[in-house]
Amino acid sequence: MGKYTKEDIMKMVEEEDIKFIRLQFTDIFGILKNVAITPSQLEKALSNNCMFDGSSIDGFARIEESDMYLRPDLDSFVIFPWRPQLGKVARLICDVYSVDGTPFAGDPRYALRRVLKEAEDMGYFFNVGPELEFFLFHYDDQGKPTTTAHDEGGYFDLEPVGQGEDIRRDITGTLEAMGFEIEAAHHEVAPAQHEIDFKFGSALGIADDIMTFKLAVRSVAKRYGMHASFMPKPIFGINGSGMHTNMSIMTKDGQNAFYDEKAPDGLSQIALHFIAGLLDHVKGIAAVTNPLVNSYKRLVPGYEAPCYLAWSASNRTALIRIPASRGMGTRVELRSPDPSTNPYLCLALCLAAGLDGIKRKLMPPKQVTKSIFEMTPEERTENGITSLPGSLEKALFEYQKDPLVKQVLGDHIYERYLTAKTEEWESYRLSVTDWEINKYLLRY
């Protein structure tokens, strides 16, 4: 049974003096969209009769097939704590439907639902725990975000100066008021960089939570006159921001399918198949898990970012790490995704890759215990260690080579995503950067 009924929401809106309800959904590029309605339109929305123009959403629909409907997920109802207490604002996360009453093929939430149904048919339920990192920067005099921050803190530091600690504490309280269970909040390695971790849960709910998390972080930071950025690599020479993604699958009887107390390292055959599936497809899904030109400025040696295809139960330089916890806590951590990814598509592809490994009974190579960053190229070759794509262009090449990607995303998302990202790469390739001006203008 769900958490809320239609009547529950109507009653809460009236009793809490809510003036606006935001009907939220996510486009294929991971950008949060919304239609705001007043309470007078709430019953219509809760009856799945709220229509919008899909042709205005990048990557959604052509002008001749633009009418779409938003169907609110009632359990996603929440009041925004950062909005005024008089005339409050609430939200509902929605699925997108076509006029014929079928789920819209371009809805990322639907793409994830399809793969979760496949897992359920195999007897599995997918749990996820993300670790999102972000930077806090100042605005300039024109109100535009900069990459400047009065913060020299490092990993786990309690900052003696700056607003980072206060903002992080306020963000944590805000998230808890929205129903999040926060497990840890701390300063990260780079100056002005922070991480807030929330409890794992079912994949669809966690994808929703990731979108809510980013909105809440930005909203709270802005109240302090700061810009929260989830850009993967905003500053040259320091660590970028990742979204390490911890994954486990549960059986129908509530057991962790990744755990086998009798096996080496406590990892079951299912876990090994899942790891092998991820390694087999991780290049092909990189254009989604790391979707920006800037994403590949993070995935380089020397900044703690994983760029080499390997796995380990202890080694943090490997792409896939198995944290020490066993039993119900046994999980696989994929360290390559960054917070600019569309979480619905990211989790759909990660799960599908792992399930493919299970179905084909793939086995991973021997785990790597030595620091891969300290290996010579020859040593990496001897150990069969290859690299993630080094650019968005190369990632798009791998994207097109892997048939699993199109199968999971469906024709609509696959083609529109490829077109948009190819245009993004071409725009970058043709641009003249400050680096080029500084390097060549005087010399040549």
Per residue in 293-321, pLDDT (tens digit) is 999 999 987 666 788 899 988 777 889 99
Greater model confidence, 32 or 51: 32
157 is catalytic: no
For the four alpha carbons of 101, 107, 32 and 211, in that order, the dihedral sign comes to positive
Q: What does the alpha-carbon distance between residue 309 and residue 286 come to, in Å, rounded to a whole number? A: 12
Please state the rounded mean pLDDT for residues 169-198.
89
121 is catalytic: no
Written as one string, the DSSP assignment of 166-224 is: HHHHHHHHHHHHTT--EEEEEE-SSTTEEEEEE--EEHHHHHHHHHHHHHHHHHHHHHT
Considering the candidates 83, 114, 316, 412, report the single residue annotated as catalytic: 316
pLDDT tens profile 274-299: 999 999 999 999 999 999 999 999 99
pLDDT tens profile 262-276: 998 899 999 999 999
pLDDT of amino acid 156: 45
Task: Quickly state the pLDDT bin for 342 (edges 50, 70, 90).
Answer: very high
pLDDT tens profile 433-442: 999 999 999 9
Please state the rounded mean pLDDT for residues 174-194.
88
Task: Quickly state the pLDDT bin for 64 (edges 50, 70, 90).
Answer: very low
Task: Quickly state the pLDDT bin for 62 (edges 50, 70, 90).
Answer: low
pLDDT of amino acid 384: 85
Please state the rounded mean pLDDT for residues 45-74.
78
Are the beta carbons of 209 and 297 closer than 8 angstroms?
Answer: no
Mean pLDDT of the chain, nearest integer: 90
Considering the candidates 335, 338, 398, 402, report the single residue annotated as catalytic: 335
333 is catalytic: yes
Are the beta carbons of 15 and 31 closer than 8 angstroms?
Answer: no
pLDDT at 155 over 60: no
For the four alpha carbons of 346, 351, 356 and 357, in that order, the dihedral sign comes to positive
Please state the rounded mean pLDDT for residues 147-167.
66
pLDDT of amino acid 63: 45
Of 436, 404, 138, give the one whose Cα is nearest residue 284.
404
pLDDT at 331 over 80: yes
Q: Which amino acid is at 185?
A: A
pLDDT of amino acid 173: 93
261 is catalytic: no
133 is catalytic: yes
pLDDT of amino acid 158: 53
Low-confidence winner among 11-25, 159-173, 269-283 (lowest mean pLDDT): 159-173
426 is catalytic: no
pLDDT at 172 over 70: yes
pLDDT of amino acid 24: 95
Considering the candidates 22, 91, 109, 131, report the single residue annotated as catalytic: 131
Considering the candidates 195, 209, 338, 356, report the single residue annotated as catalytic: 195
pLDDT of amino acid 217: 96
Considering the candidates 165, 188, 209, 356, report the single residue annotated as catalytic: 188
Task: Quickly state the pLDDT bin for 179 (edges 50, 70, 90).
Answer: very high
Please state the rounded mean pLDDT for residues 75-97.
90
pLDDT of amino acid 1: 46
Q: Which amino acid is at 24?
A: Q
Low-confidence winner among 169-173, 275-279, 337-341, 376-380 (lowest mean pLDDT): 376-380
pTM of this structure: 0.94
Q: What does the alpha-carbon distance between residue 437 and residue 444 come to, in Å, rounded to a whole number? A: 10
Other C-beta atoms closer than 10 Å to the C-beta of 360 total 12
Q: Which amino acid is at 313?
A: A
Considering the candidates 53, 65, 120, 166, report the single residue annotated as catalytic: 53
114 is catalytic: no
Considering the candidates 22, 109, 168, 244, report the single residue annotated as catalytic: 244
pLDDT of amino acid 18: 94
- Report CA 232 to chain centroid distance, whole Å: 12
Pairing of strands 88-98, 18-26: parallel
Are the beta carbons of 215 and 26 closer than 8 angstroms?
Answer: no
Pairing of strands 67-72, 193-198: unpaired
Other C-beta atoms closer than 10 Å to the C-beta of 184 total 11
Are the beta carbons of 258 and 267 closer than 8 angstroms?
Answer: yes
pLDDT tens profile 36-45: 999 999 999 9
